Amino acid sequence: MEKWVKQTTSIILHQGVNLSGFPLLCMKLCARTLALFFAFAFAVAAHAAQPTFEQRLPNGLKLIVKPDRRAPVVVSQIWYRVGSMDEVSGKTGVAHVLEHMMFKGTKAVPAGEFSRLIAAAGGRENAFTSLDYTAYFQQLSKDKLPLALRLEADRMRNLQISDAEFTKEVKVVMEERRGRTEDEPQALLYENLAAVAYRTSPYRNPIIGWMDDLQNLRADDARDWYKTWYAPNNATLVIVGDVEPAAVRRLIEQYFGPIRPSRLPDRTKRREPTPRGIQRIVVKAPAKLPSLLMAYHVPNLVNVQGDSEPYALEMLAGVLDAGASSRLTQRLVRERRIANDVGVGYDALSRLPSLFTLSGVPSEGKTVAELESALRAEIDDIKQNGIGQDELERMRAQIIAAQVYQRDSMFYQAMLIGEYETIGYSHRDIDAINEKLKQVTPAQVQAVARKYLIDDALTIAVLDPQPLEPAAAAKSGGGRHGR
C-alpha cells in the first residue's frame, strides 16, 4: 500500500497519515502530463526564487515564511512534532482524537465557531494526523491571515475538552475506523501486516488506533496529550503566500509570543530488532478479490548529505512502479497479465525506519501464489541484472516534473516545508534531496535491492476474501467524509 496514496487520502478524509516528501515516485505521470509540467517551468522559476524567511521565537516556536505573490491568498499551516508514534501502549488513537477535539472550542471561541469564522472569511481549513506529526491548516485571502493566526494561537493552549464532547467525538472516530479500516479490506490487510512486520517500532500501531483502545480512552487522556505536546517549542508555523515577512513576524509575535513553552518528554524509542526470517499471515475479510502485500524492512533517511541508500531505494520504487512504462505495470499487468493491479511504496522521509512494500491483485484465473512468484522474479532480475540507464533517466524526468508541480502550489509548498522541518530535516534540504535523487546510479539501485529485499526482512500478508454481505456487495466506492 503506497504511503503517498494513504497519506494524501487521509488528509482529505481528516484521518491523517504522513505526506511523502518523495511523491514523485508514486505519481503516475503520462507523457502529456509531463509536458504540461514542463510548460509551467519558466513561470514557476520566478516565484520559486523568492527568499524564505525563518525565525525562532524566544518561546521556541519556529516561523517560516515563503512569499509567493501570484495571487492575493495565503496558506497558514501549524505543524506539531507529535504523531501516533508518540503514543503509549493502550492509548493508541489519542493523537487523532485530540486532532478532532481541537475544533471543539476554547473559552473565547466556542465549539464550531472556529470553522464558521474561517468559512465566513471565505477560507477553508482542516487538519491531519500521521505517524510522525499532526498539522492544522487554513487557506484564505491574505487580509484574513490575522484571523487565522489569532484562532490558531488561541487553541494552542486554551482548548477546552469536556467529558461529554470527548465521549461524542471518540464515537465518531470509532465509526471512522469501522468505515475506513474494518470495512476496507486493503486497509485491514496493511494494518495487520504492520502489526506483524514491526516488533517494537510504534509504526506497528494504526494512526486511528486499535478499537479496544478507542473504547477505553477517556477525556483525561486527551487532556494529558494536549498539555504535553501542544506547545510553541514543539511546533513549526509555515506561511506561504502574498505576504511580507516582516508583517507576518509582527503578527506571530503578537499572537504566539505570549504563549509559554513546555518541557517536552524524552522521545527515545526502542530500536527495531533485526528480522530473522520470513513471516506470513492470512487476513480473512469480506471482499471480492484476493490480494497480496509484501513488506521489507528498510532504512529511512537520516543524513541528507551522507546517506545514499534511501535515495537508491526511492529510485528502485520508481523503476518498479511509477507509471505505465514501469517494470511491474509493463510486465505483470500488460504483458503477462498476472495482475490486475500492482503497486510499490517506500518513504525515506520518516522519523523511524520504515517498510518497502509491493502489492497486487491477481488477474482472473491467477493465484496469489503466482503473483508472489512473479513479483519475486522481478526483484531477482534487478538483483542479478540491474537496471538500465534509460529507466533511471525516465525517473530523473519525473523528478524535474514533480519539482515544478510542487512549486506551482502554495499549499504544497507549505506542506513540503512543514513536513521536512517537523520530521527533523530543514526546508533547505528540499532541493538538496532532489539533487541527490538525480545522482543515483544503476549500480546503487542494484546494491540496495540485493541488500534489503531479502527473505529474512520480509513479511507477506494475503487477503483471503470472504463472502460479502448483501449490503456490502451493493455498496459502491467509499465516500469522502470530513470532520
Give residue 396's pLDDT: 81
Residue 103 has pLDDT above 50, yes or no: yes
d(CA 415, CA 327): 30
Give residue 88's pLDDT: 95
Q: Are 66 and 113 in contact (CB under 8 A)?
A: no
Q: How many CB atoms lie within 10 A of CB 35?
A: 11
What is the Cβ-side half-sphere exposure of residue 285, based on CA atoms within 13 angstroms? 24
Please report, to the nearest 10 degrees, the dihedral formed by the alpha carbons of residues 418, 423, 427, 433 taken in order: -130
Maximum Cα interatomic distance, the chain, rounded to a whole number of Å: 66
pLDDT digits over 344-354, tens only?
Answer: 999 999 999 99
Set 2, 99, 191, 309: catalytic member = 99
Give residue 16's pLDDT: 37
Cell numbers placing 221: 487522556
d(CA 304, CA 310): 10
Give residue 34's pLDDT: 34
Task: Give residue 303's pLDDT band: very low, low, confident or very high (50, 70, 90).
Answer: very high
Q: Are 70 and 78 in contact (CB under 8 A)?
A: no
Mean pLDDT rounded to a whole number for the chain = 88
Task: Give residue 112's pLDDT band: very low, low, confident or very high (50, 70, 90).
Answer: very high
Q: Are 148 and 117 in contact (CB under 8 A)?
A: no
d(CA 95, CA 133): 9
Residue 214 has pLDDT above 90, yes or no: yes
E strand or H helix at 358, and its extent? strand 354-362
Which residues lie closer than 8 Å to 88 by C-beta, 6 or more apart? none
With a threshold of 0.85, does the pTM exceed it?
Answer: yes
Cell numbers placing 134: 499532526
Q: Which amino acid is at 190?
A: Y
Give residue 269's pLDDT: 75
Which residues is 134 bridged to in the sheet? 80, 129
Of 35 and 437, more confident: 437
Task: Give residue 47's pLDDT band: very low, low, confident or very high (50, 70, 90).
Answer: very low
Q: 27-41, 162-176, 377-391: which range is least confident on average?
A: 27-41
Residue 33 has pLDDT above 60, yes or no: no
In terms of Cβ atoms closer than 10 Å to its own Cβ (0-12, 13-18, 19+), residue 346 is buried
Residue 202 has pLDDT above 60, yes or no: yes
Cell numbers placing 26: 508514486
pLDDT digits over 408-436, tens only?
Answer: 889 999 999 999 999 999 999 998 998 99
Average pLDDT over residues 442-448: 97
Residue 99 designated active-site: yes
Question: What phi and psi values does residue 94 have, to the nearest 5 degrees?
Answer: -65, -35
d(CA 52, CA 407): 13
d(CA 160, CA 1): 37
Which residues is 128 bridged to in the sheet? 135
Residue 299 has pLDDT above 60, yes or no: yes
Question: What phi and psi values does residue 166 have, to the nearest 5 degrees?
Answer: -65, -45
